[in-house]
A and B are shown apart, each in its own frame.
Chain A
Amino acid sequence: MKFGYVSWLPQTELVSKFIEELKNKRLMGTQCKQCAAKYLPPRAHCKCGSHEMEWFEAPKTGKILTYTLVTFGPESMAKYAPYIIAVAELDDGSRLLAHITGVTPKTLKVDMRVQVVSHHVTEDRIVYKFRPTE
């Protein structure tokens, strides 16, 4: 299983673990044991230089900070266009960029409450995405 609509980077242990959890509908980030900085999506190393990281489960609800409707995407995404990309702030303050579905550009608003759900793009590809709560 790979992450993303398109990607080619080698799968590290960190990403494999993240994907396994996402398949089970858990959104996992990493937190530094030294300075307590939290990362979602996860990182293997902290920006403070530490590599002592532990997993935490992030909340799956939040609100939309901003969005765009991508009409002309990169060549590799042509078959998915148009799509709406949003940045949401989750209830613990962490921020995530993903597609949002279940809305139209007309009904989508900044501050709209959303939930993060797992989405199988194809049999071997998975992403997280936003949907309006309710």
Chain B
Amino acid sequence: MTQKIGVIGIGHAKFGKRKDATIRELAHEAVKPALEDAGITTTDIDAAVIGVAGDEFAAQGSSGALIHDYIGMKNKPMFRVEAACATGSAGIRAAWSLIKAGLAETVLVVGAETMTQVGSPKATELMAKAGDTRWEYPFGITFPGFYALMATAHMHEYGTTREQLSMVSVKNHKYGVLNPYAHLQREVSLEEAVKSLTICHPLNLYDCCLISDGAAAVILANEEKAKKLCDTPVWITGLGSASDTMMISERQTLTSLTATRLAAEKAYRMARVSPDDIDVAVVHDCFTIAEIMAYEDLGFCKKGEGGKFIEEGQSYIGGERPVNMDGGLKAKGHPLGATGVSMTVEITRQLRGEANKRQVSGAEIGLSHNVGETGQYCFVHIYAR
């Protein structure tokens, strides 16, 4: 019989500028509540998958081994995954595969990153080095720069406006206030967002996600264990993943992420659902234009109508497809390795009905969408109660 695989425990560290903790303490801060939530201890876990995107931010090599030891996993199997900004979702996919393959019944996924200790110019530098270092990095292109290239193209091709970009930011800040784990808990007005400091034209400060420290943890189990240990397992019913060229100049389109479209198609097919069935989603809004493209590439609206979708309020609670109720990367923060795991935490909360003031009422089917770099990696997971 084909066994389902479900989420049985979730934990989340406070995202932010965490001078009080290093990567090991942040991991503990996420793992402890995840174990408590599942009602188990590390002795009940068969293996761990640990996601940390970069070594240079924390000035620590092999952070996977460090975290694994610190959280008391003793001699259990472990490996670390890396998929840039999608590292956490790669971890979920790897853990799901371990269980599916029968190598483990319960797997702990930890995503963590500490990014603020190096300062913004250095962090920008480190992230830029994740581009093609032979032919594109040598021009000083940055991550905001790459997405700004997509924003200019999208605005030119579809008439997406400056205000529509900022509306994504306004929404995500509004919901970030309701998430106690979010880095920024402050609403912004449309005027403030539109007029903020330019980083890479046309993107300004309020179009860009935060540089944050943080960690998140998820425990996955096979159906038998999940039903035994947990009253409210959230099943992962679809997984899709795809990739794209390293160099942005080799892309066939600059107004869409092909990896998102392909990953979403696979996930919808596996879960046997369509975009219309999704009650709540978390999408990769590293920049406001990325959320607008995600609406389109995930099939929440037609190509080119992402700007209109936010302008009409369709991605708010009460709209057609509520998106990023946790504040998104924009307000919650984007500690690279933690982000994808944090997305699974949020969808699990939503499907359990535990998201308090940001709850999408009656949500039964959820989706998480995590992009690595500028679309070199993409992971889409679909969840059901």
Interface residues of A (CB under 8 A from B): 3-9, 15, 41, 65-78, 80-81, 83, 85, 87, 95-99, 105, 110, 127
- Asked if A68 and B145 make an inter-chain contact with CB atoms under 8 angstroms apart, the answer reads yes
B193 at the interface (CB under 8 A from A): no
Known: A71-B200, A72-B199, A105-B201. A95 touches B156 (CB 8 A): no
Render B123-160 as a binary contact track against A, CB cut-off 8 A, 1 for contact: 01100100001111111111011001111110010000
Known: A76-B140, A87-B149. 5 other contacts (CB 8 A): A5-B139, A6-B140, A68-B151, A70-B140, A97-B249
Chain B nearest Cβ from A85, distance in angstroms: 6
B247 at the interface (CB under 8 A from A): yes
Contacts of A66 in B (CB 8 A): 149-150, 152-153, 156, 254
Known: A41-B135, A65-B153, A68-B149. A75 touches B122 (CB 8 A): yes
- Asked if A85 and B254 make an inter-chain contact with CB atoms under 8 angstroms apart, the answer reads no
Interface residues of B (CB under 8 A from A): 120-122, 124-125, 128, 133-142, 144-145, 148-153, 156, 198-203, 247-250, 254
- In the assembled complex, the Cα of A70 lies from the Cα of B203 at a distance in Å of 10
- Asked if A68 and B140 make an inter-chain contact with CB atoms under 8 angstroms apart, the answer reads no
Which of B128, B138, B201 meets A68, CB within 8 Å? Answer: B201
- Asked if B139 and A97 make an inter-chain contact with CB atoms under 8 angstroms apart, the answer reads yes
Chain A nearest Cβ from B258, distance in angstroms: 15
5 CB < 8 A contacts A-B:
A65-B153, A70-B200, A74-B142, A83-B140, A97-B249
Contacts of A127 in B (CB 8 A): 138-139
Cβ-closest chain A residue relative to B126? A74
Cβ-closest chain B residue relative to A76? B125
Contacts of A4 in B (CB 8 A): 137-139
- Asked if A98 and B139 make an inter-chain contact with CB atoms under 8 angstroms apart, the answer reads yes
- Asked if A70 and B138 make an inter-chain contact with CB atoms under 8 angstroms apart, the answer reads no
Known: A69-B200, A97-B249. A74 touches B140 (CB 8 A): yes
- In the assembled complex, the Cα of A132 lies from the Cα of B134 at a distance in Å of 25
Contacts of A96 in B (CB 8 A): 249
Cβ-closest chain B residue relative to A110? B156
Contacts of A77 in B (CB 8 A): 140
- Asked if A74 and B124 make an inter-chain contact with CB atoms under 8 angstroms apart, the answer reads yes
- Asked if B145 and A70 make an inter-chain contact with CB atoms under 8 angstroms apart, the answer reads yes
- Asked if B254 and A71 make an inter-chain contact with CB atoms under 8 angstroms apart, the answer reads no
- In the assembled complex, the Cα of A1 lies from the Cα of B198 at a distance in Å of 34
- Asked if B138 and A3 make an inter-chain contact with CB atoms under 8 angstroms apart, the answer reads yes
- In the assembled complex, the Cα of A68 lies from the Cα of B157 at a distance in Å of 15
- Asked if A74 and B138 make an inter-chain contact with CB atoms under 8 angstroms apart, the answer reads no
- In the assembled complex, the Cα of A67 lies from the Cα of B139 at a distance in Å of 13
Contacts of B144 in A (CB 8 A): 72
- Asked if B140 and A85 make an inter-chain contact with CB atoms under 8 angstroms apart, the answer reads yes
- In the assembled complex, the Cα of A72 lies from the Cα of B200 at a distance in Å of 7
- In the assembled complex, the Cα of A106 lies from the Cα of B202 at a distance in Å of 12
- Asked if B254 and A69 make an inter-chain contact with CB atoms under 8 angstroms apart, the answer reads no
Cβ-closest chain B residue relative to A8? B133
- In the assembled complex, the Cα of A7 lies from the Cα of B133 at a distance in Å of 7
Contacts of B203 in A (CB 8 A): 68
Known: A4-B139, A85-B139. A68 touches B148 (CB 8 A): yes
- In the assembled complex, the Cα of A103 lies from the Cα of B199 at a distance in Å of 19
Contacts of B124 in A (CB 8 A): 72-75
- In the assembled complex, the Cα of A98 lies from the Cα of B141 at a distance in Å of 9
Contacts of A74 in B (CB 8 A): 121, 124-125, 128, 140, 142
- In the assembled complex, the Cα of A4 lies from the Cα of B254 at a distance in Å of 23
Chain A nearest Cβ from B57, distance in angstroms: 14
Chain A nearest Cβ from B255, distance in angstroms: 9
Known: A75-B121, A75-B122, A95-B250. A70 touches B134 (CB 8 A): no
- In the assembled complex, the Cα of A44 lies from the Cα of B364 at a distance in Å of 50
Chain A nearest Cβ from B259, distance in angstroms: 16
- Asked if A70 and B141 make an inter-chain contact with CB atoms under 8 angstroms apart, the answer reads yes
- In the assembled complex, the Cα of A119 lies from the Cα of B250 at a distance in Å of 23
- Asked if B141 and A85 make an inter-chain contact with CB atoms under 8 angstroms apart, the answer reads yes
- Asked if B125 and A68 make an inter-chain contact with CB atoms under 8 angstroms apart, the answer reads no
Contacts of B137 in A (CB 8 A): 4, 6-7
- In the assembled complex, the Cα of A77 lies from the Cα of B139 at a distance in Å of 8
Contacts of B156 in A (CB 8 A): 66, 110
- In the assembled complex, the Cα of A20 lies from the Cα of B150 at a distance in Å of 32
- In the assembled complex, the Cα of A4 lies from the Cα of B120 at a distance in Å of 23
- Asked if B199 and A71 make an inter-chain contact with CB atoms under 8 angstroms apart, the answer reads yes
- In the assembled complex, the Cα of A64 lies from the Cα of B140 at a distance in Å of 18
- Asked if A97 and B140 make an inter-chain contact with CB atoms under 8 angstroms apart, the answer reads no
- Asked if B254 and A87 make an inter-chain contact with CB atoms under 8 angstroms apart, the answer reads yes
- In the assembled complex, the Cα of A55 lies from the Cα of B198 at a distance in Å of 41
- In the assembled complex, the Cα of A82 lies from the Cα of B247 at a distance in Å of 22
- In the assembled complex, the Cα of A76 lies from the Cα of B122 at a distance in Å of 9
